[in-house]
Amino acid sequence: MIYETLYNGDLIPILGQGTWGLGGGMYPDYSRDDSAREIIRTAIELGYIHIDTAEMYGGGHTEELVGQVIQDYRRQDLFITSKVWHITMRYQDTLQALDGSLKRLGTNYLDLYLIHRPNKDIPLEETFRALNELVKQGKVRHLGVSNFNLDQLVRAQGHSETPLVTNQVPYNLHNRLYVKNGVLDFCQKNNILLTAYSPIERGHLVSDPTVRNIAERLGATPAQVALQWLLRQPGVIALPMSTRKDHLLENLGALDLDLSGDDFEALNQIELSEESLWPE
């Protein structure tokens, strides 16, 4: 695994395992718990020590599944991220939300805690008052945000008493909204990682002709090309999500792929989508 170094010397893997859909969508689904636990365990065994989850995933059940698996590993060997949902961003609600996440995960701290998405009805200052307190209490090591546009990110940076680690956003070859809106440039200039979720656009990128042509010539897969295009950019890390071991291995192979300058430029010229997974 390859790592980025955070402001205090901590390391974060540039590839993590997303968990959206494991254990349910917005509500719990217990019907495939065994397979969900198995894919989380397999990911960790393969080297995906950054596990990304959220209190909203599966109505909290996803955190429970992650927690059941990570009990078999040394906590200090893992990097666990979770997120506070936008309806629990009042000061006291945020404190309670974090305690709920810790209980479900079976740990006494998170490596990274994110605001899942903005809530225009709750002042960021109030939410960060709680987040800053959680850092002081040692329950959270690092803070970040998710789905924040440039103005929201700048304001969040101003309210955080510790450097923001990341803005987690949808970013891939077909969705470059957060390049166009200035977020990526701001992150790169301010040592904030941009964490790309849906980095292969839920599999849709594998049929892109430019991606397929480059992959065929390099003896790689389209998913590996799409991931390497992201990871080659300064300050960008990615959270592909897979429920199959062969796809987990395939994604790891992106770390060894060497794109030429011409390949990178050809990928940059792919026709873009204006759509965003989260409207601003």
Residues written for the chain: 280
CB 90 within 8 A of CB 96: no
Q: Which residues contact 210 (CB under 8 A, 6 or more apart)?
A: 266, 267, 269, 270
CB 214 within 8 A of CB 267: yes
Place of tokens 């065929």: 216
User: Cα separation of 119 and 88, whole Å?
Assistant: 10
Active-site position among 48, 57, 113, 178: 57
CB 25 within 8 A of CB 15: no
Residue 57 bears catalytic tag: yes
The pair of structure tokens assigned to 142 is 């690092």
222-231 and 209-218 helices cross at what angle (nearest 10)? 100
**Three-state SS at 272:** coil
In angstroms, what CA-CA distances link 85 with 22, 116, 185, 247? 17, 5, 26, 29
The pair of structure tokens assigned to 249 is 């291995």
The pair of structure tokens assigned to 17 is 């395992």
CB 130 within 8 A of CB 91: yes
- How far apart, in Å, do the first and last CA atoms of the chain sit? 33
Q: Which residues contact 221 (CB under 8 A, 6 or more apart)?
A: 206, 215, 250, 253
Q: Which residues does the annotation mark as catalytic? A: 57
